[in-house]
Amino acid sequence: MTDNTQNPILRVKNLTIDIPTATGTLHAVRGIDFDLMRGETLCIVGESGSGKSLTSLALMGLLGRAIRPQADVMDFERTALLEASPKTLRSLRGARMSMIFQEPMTSLNPSYTIGDQLMEALLIHGGTSRKTARGRAIELLQKVGITAAESRLSQFPHQLSGGLRQRVMIAMALMCEPELIIADEPTTALDVTIQAQILRLLVDLQAEMGMALILITHDLGVVARIADKVAVMYAGALVETGPTADLFAAPSHPYPRGLLNCIPLPGKPDRCETGHYCGHRALPRGGGLGLHLPHQM
Amino acid sequence: MNSPDTPILELRDVTKTYTVKQGLFGKSKPLTALNGISLQLNRSDVLGLVGESGCGKSTMAKILLGLEAPTSGQVLVDGKPIGGENRLELARRIQPIFQDPYSSLNPRKSIEDIIALPLRVHHIGDEASRLKKVRDILDVVGLPSRVLTNYPSQMSGGQRQRVAIARALVMRPEIVICDEPTSALDVSVQSQILNLLGELRREFNLTYLFISHDLAVVEHLATRVAVMYLGQVVEENSVEGMFVQTRHPYSKALLESVLTPEPGLGVPDTHLGMAYPNPIEPPSGCHFHPRCAAVSEICKQQAPRTQLTTYGRIKCHLHDETVQAKLVQA
Amino acid sequence: MTHSSSALPPDPLLQETLAPTPAERLRRRVAGHKGLLFGGVVLGLLTIVALFAPLIAPHDPYAQNLMGRMQPPVFLDGTWEHILGTDHLGRDYLSRLIYGARISLLIGTVAALISGTIGTILGVSAGYFGGRVDAVVTFLINVRLALPVVLVALAVVALLGGSLTVVICVLGFLLWDRFAVVMRTSTLQVRNRDYVTAAQAIGGSTPRVILSEIMPNILNNLIVVITLEMAHAILLEAVLSFLGLGVQPPTPSWGLMVAEGKNMMLFEPWLVLIPGAVLFVLVLAINLLGDGLRDVTAPEGRN
């Protein structure tokens, strides 16, 4: 990593998320650390339930009232996100950091047009006339590769295909030229062809606008192709972080090693050796992974 | 009797058209979901059927399961056409595995009830022998028999998919239609399920029709690959042929889209225009031409013919020698 | 594929690994739902009272005593002989209330069963078969919704004469619309699930697929509508009886009791208030039960 040349845009130290449940506390995220520079791409990898989505929601301050994340440091630029007032957070969200969700159909409001939803972020954060906002919306729709952008503004989400909707989501996230984008499995619900296009689009736009990108995924193929660095989460803890090339060349932790073995590739051994993942609550005390990983059995 | 090289499953020029109403008072328009599909599966083949969502893969699965009748054309199992009367007979030979194990198991039923359902419907054996069969098949798919009393909500995605596989196999069918059986699962579980499907095929001499949009998964398991685009098979090839020398521009784009975990390569440019065409108003000529990188004038006007190749067949003007010869002349 | 191994140290969190069965989870949720428990207990008590009316009622509900008319209930300085007093014909009010519970519950249950059967058959077929069947059922629902229930009931009863059977049939054949609407939507939601397709692909017959795959998954909605329509029918019976077109005297019905008391309402308000209050409590209990059932049977399985 090229440290000390600039300050990280996002710093997280010892982020912990505990969820109170009827039967006890669920330690969903157990003390994770990472830094993110401007223009850098971090991929958080892990299986469903490993805490990666919770982490992103915590960063955006969208966890809801019942769940209180804790951290020694969670700074966006100079703003301490955990201490910030709801007002400060609102002014950050959408304007300087924005989020792209997995399922575009559920994250777009079905009863508003694409145009309304695109312009909303700009209008909320003020200082923009409807006309400018509209112009910007058209510009961004074109940028994300949507043809006939102007006529799309008056369409409703259900009139668009999955790939188009995801592009609209990306355009929406870009409206205020954020410095940080958090994308939670942005391509999992899409065809491979569309996935490649959307990812390429994200990478191009990132290079153009110099944004930092956190991409949450369970697909190591995606990680390899776009990440600068990788954080592997397992059962709420970061088990491995490092530059992408290093991780793929020699994963030191058995879990990412197992994951890499799992990818169906020509010429690779047939057997997948990762043990079955059985959820946090089944973890033995101490957070060991011995239960699941044949390497340690 | 049938000769040994009669394909176990054959589609002959199968076409399926739906009528779609546009809007409340709109005109009805035909939607051609499948357009003259011909395919053959030999015993213990695995045919990978690849294409984007909306290309007709799921319609095909429904027709093969006997849940929908083709508008024209024939489906033959062991050389005999399937029809209305032998639904049960067909069910005994062809079984499906679905994509989403969260929706394919009835949440109100115990695992035992779910797996035993095919046996009950077909009146196979008595309660005791059914239970034994269920236990055996659970063992085969790698689940302990204590899950028998569980409900689907108590199991993980991978376990549910194993239950779904057990239900499909409990009657020992010959053909299994796998409709994206791994795409809803986590990566590590995906390969477990793929390996299981591979083992089961060897053990029970099964024939798979493996539907997927992920060529990497198909390559892992299939012996032949058919690429579908807008209701047509645009290329069919053996797996080796497909991955060594892909010919159709669409198959190439599909292959390029696969993100192998090789850092540093970046995200590939598939050269595909973004929009999947509206199947109600398919493009003229070759349906693929609006998205094709190698499009020429003839593609816009004339639908390509099916050409036989060394390993399979292809539907593209680029590989039609007479067309190419004419182009050179002009 | 193991959930947990017995070699592990006992961990309280480990117990959670095997999630409870749907039945267990239902039991837990029922136990934690106050409205449901209240509604259930009240309805249960009233059902017991109705079933054992002859054993519980202190007097014959039909026995008139013209000498002891309009005796006040015990809390208005009446006697313990007639705890809730007597009506204008000197009949014991408590006994009439107890026998009236029979009428109300009978009408509610049977009318809800008739309308439930009609509505479920229509709604499930519309949702399952779609196409023309759906178009016909939707048309029937619209026709039914265009009919004002009370007026039609009044007209039919006026034509055929009021009796218990007529009232039950009229209500049963009028109140199926909500069943049909709800069952149609629920079926639509369920019929495209893969487990339904799987059952069809196994070769399951249509009745089998509907009964064993679809019905169990929409039963919770059906139960909720049953409770709502039961309450609806009970209220409508009271309205019809109050208007003199429902259950005919001397049969004790709560609606009829309100009607008979209304002349004296200004002088003896308890004549109206007591049956009114019981009616209110019964309908409230049924509605609370229905609401509670909806809460505790919220779709599970996809978690």
- Residue A279 sits at the chain C interface (C-beta within 8 Å): yes
Q: Give me the pLDDT at residue B4, please.
A: 61
Q: Give me the pLDDT at residue C193, please.
A: 85
Q: Give me the pLDDT at residue A264, please.
A: 58
Tell me how close the Cα of B162 comes to any Cα of chain C, in angstroms.
Answer: 10
Quick check: A286 pLDDT over 60? no
With b meaning 16 or more CB within 10 Å and e meaning fewer, what string describes B117-148?
Answer: bbbbbbeeeeeeebbebbbebbebbbbeeebb
End-to-end CA distance of chain C: give it in Å, rounded: 20
Residue in C202, C205, C220, C221 to test binding to B, most B beta-carbons within 10 Å: C202
Contact C198 B104 (CB under 8 A): yes
Residue in B182, B259, B292 to test binding to A, most A beta-carbons within 10 Å: B259
Cα–Cα distances in angstroms (integers) from residue B8 to residues B5, B37, B41, B238, B284, in the given order:
9, 16, 6, 17, 35
- Give, in degrees to the nearest 5, the angle at Cα B114 between B110 and B120: 120
pLDDT, tens digit, for every residue of A99-142? 888 776 667 787 788 888 888 877 877 677 888 888 888 888 88
Q: Give me the pLDDT at residue A250, please.
A: 76
Tell me how close the Cα of A47 comes to any Cα of chain B, in angstroms.
Answer: 6
- Residue B264 sits at the chain A interface (C-beta within 8 Å): yes
Residue of C19, C195, C212 with shortest CB distance to B153: C19
Contact C8 A279 (CB under 8 A): no
Residue ranges per structural domain of chain B: 247-259+271-277+284-330
DSSP string, A191-250: -HHHHHHHHHHHHHHHHHHT-EEEEEES-HHHHHHH-SEEEEEETTEEEEEEEHHHHHH-
Identify the chains in contact with B, defined as 3+ C-beta pairs within 8 A: A, C
pLDDT, mean of residues A142-153:
78
Q: Which residues of A touch B198 (CB under 8 A)?
A: 270
In a domain, C143, yes or no: yes
Tell me how far apart the alpha carbons of residues A245 and B262 are, in angstroms, rounded to a whole number: 8
Residue in C6, C13, C18, C302 to test binding to A, most A beta-carbons within 10 Å: C13
Q: Give me the pLDDT at residue C217, please.
A: 87
Count of CB atoms within 10 A of residue C92's CB? 26
Tell me how close the Cα of C148 comes to any Cα of chain B, in angstroms.
Answer: 28
Q: Which residues of C touch A288 (CB under 8 A)?
A: none
User: Counting Cβ atoms within 10 Å, is residue C109 exposed (0-12), middle (13-18) or buried (19+)?
Assistant: middle
Q: Token pair for residue A33?
A: 């650390």
Q: Give me the pLDDT at residue C183, please.
A: 93
Q: Are C270 and C72 in contact (CB under 8 A)?
A: yes
- Look up the domain containing C210 and give its range: 35-46+90-296
Find, in chain C, the residue whose alpha carbon is nearest to that of A279: C17
Q: Token pair for residue C230?
A: 């039961």
Contact B98 C198 (CB under 8 A): yes
Spans of chain C below 70 pLDDT:
1-20, 298-303
Q: Which residues of A touch B258 (CB under 8 A)?
A: 192, 221
Tell me how close the Cα of A252 comes to any Cα of chain B, in angstroms.
Answer: 17
In a domain, C190, yes or no: yes
Give the length of chain B: 330
Structural fold of domain A10-96+180-296: Rossmann fold (3.40.50)
Q: Give me the pLDDT at residue A63, please.
A: 78
pLDDT, mean of residues A34-51:
84
Residue in C16, C25, C302 to test binding to A, most A beta-carbons within 10 Å: C16
pLDDT, tens digit, for every residue of C59-78? 888 877 777 777 777 777 77
- Residue C163 sits at the chain B interface (C-beta within 8 Å): no
Identify the chains in contact with A, defined as 3+ C-beta pairs within 8 A: B, C
Contact B275 A277 (CB under 8 A): no
Preceding peptide of C250 cis, ω within 30°: yes
Tell me how close the Cα of C66 comes to any Cα of chain B, in angstroms.
Answer: 60
- The complex's ipTM works out to 0.81
Residue of A23, A24, A282 with shortest CB distance to C4: A282
Tell me how far apart the alpha carbons of residues A223 and A215 are, in angstroms, rounded to a whole number: 8
- Residue A41 sits at the chain B interface (C-beta within 8 Å): no
Residue ranges per structural domain of chain A: 10-96+180-296, 105-175
Q: Give me the pLDDT at residue B176, please.
A: 93
What is the total count of domains within chain C? 1
Residue of B213, B256, B266 with shortest CB distance to A191: B213
Rg (CA), chain A: 20
Q: Which residues of A touch C12 (CB under 8 A)?
A: 23-24
Tell me how far apart the alpha carbons of residues C2 and A297 are, in angstroms, rounded to a whole number: 13
pLDDT, mean of residues A236-264:
77
Residue in C194, C208, C210, C220 to test binding to B, most B beta-carbons within 10 Å: C194
Quick check: A283 pLDDT over 60? no
pLDDT, tens digit, for every residue of A187-219? 777 777 778 888 888 888 888 888 899 998 888
DSSP string, B208-245: EEEEES-HHHHHHH-SEEEEEETTEEEEEEEHHHHHHS
pLDDT, mean of residues A169-185:
85
Tell me how far apart the alpha carbons of residues A204 and A219 are, in angstroms, rounded to a whole number: 20
Contact C18 B87 (CB under 8 A): no
DSSP 3-state of C84 = coil
Q: Which residues of A touch B274 (CB under 8 A)?
A: 145-147, 163-164, 167, 194, 197
Helix orientation angle between A192-209 and A162-174, rounded to the nearest 10 degrees: 10
Tell me how close the Cα of B255 comes to any Cα of chain A, in angstroms.
Answer: 9
pLDDT, mean of residues A155-176:
80
- Residue C200 sits at the chain B interface (C-beta within 8 Å): yes
State the alpha helices, DSSP H only, in chain C: 22-31, 34-51, 53-56, 93-129, 131-146, 149-160, 164-174, 177-191, 194-202, 206-208, 215-242, 254-261, 270-296
Tell me how far apart the alpha carbons of residues C279 and C287 are, in angstroms, rounded to a whole number: 12
Instruction: State chain A's mean pLDDT as an integer.
Output: 76
CATH code of residue C192: 1.10.3720.10
Q: How many A×B Cβ pairs under 8 Å?
A: 140
Contact B106 C216 (CB under 8 A): yes
Tell me how far apart the alpha carbons of residues B82 and B66 are, in angstroms, rounded to a whole number: 8
Q: In what order do the strands lie in the sheet with B28-41?
A: B28-41, B9-21, B72-77, B80-81
Contact B107 C302 (CB under 8 A): yes
Per-residue pLDDT in tens (0 to 9) along chain B, 330 residues: 455 678 888 999 999 988 876 555 667 778 888 888 898 888 888 999 988 777 888 888 888 888 888 899 888 888 888 876 677 888 888 999 998 888 899 988 899 999 999 999 888 888 899 999 999 999 989 888 888 888 888 888 888 999 999 999 998 999 999 988 888 787 778 888 888 998 999 999 999 999 987 777 788 888 899 999 888 899 888 888 877 777 788 888 888 887 777 777 778 777 776 566 777 778 888 888 888 888 888 888 888 888 887 778 888 888 777 777 777 777
Q: Which residues of C touch B105 (CB under 8 A)?
A: 195
* Residue B35: closest CA among B312, B277, B293: B277
Task: Quickly state the pLDDT bin for A48 (edges 50, 70, 90).
Answer: confident
Reported in sequence order, the residue ranges of B232-304 that DSSP labels E, i.e. its strands, are 232-238
Find, in chain C, the residue whose alpha carbon is nearest to that of A294: C1
Contact A281 C16 (CB under 8 A): yes
Report C:7-66 residues touching A (Cβ under 8 A): 8-9, 11-17
Give the length of chain C: 303
Q: Give me the pLDDT at residue A268, please.
A: 43
Element (H, E) at B198: helix B187-204
Contact C2 A276 (CB under 8 A): yes
Residue in B19, B97, B108 to test binding to C, most C beta-carbons within 10 Å: B108
Greatest mean pLDDT range, A36-45, A142-151, A233-242: A36-45
Contact A277 B258 (CB under 8 A): no
Q: Token pair for residue B302?
A: 């004339």
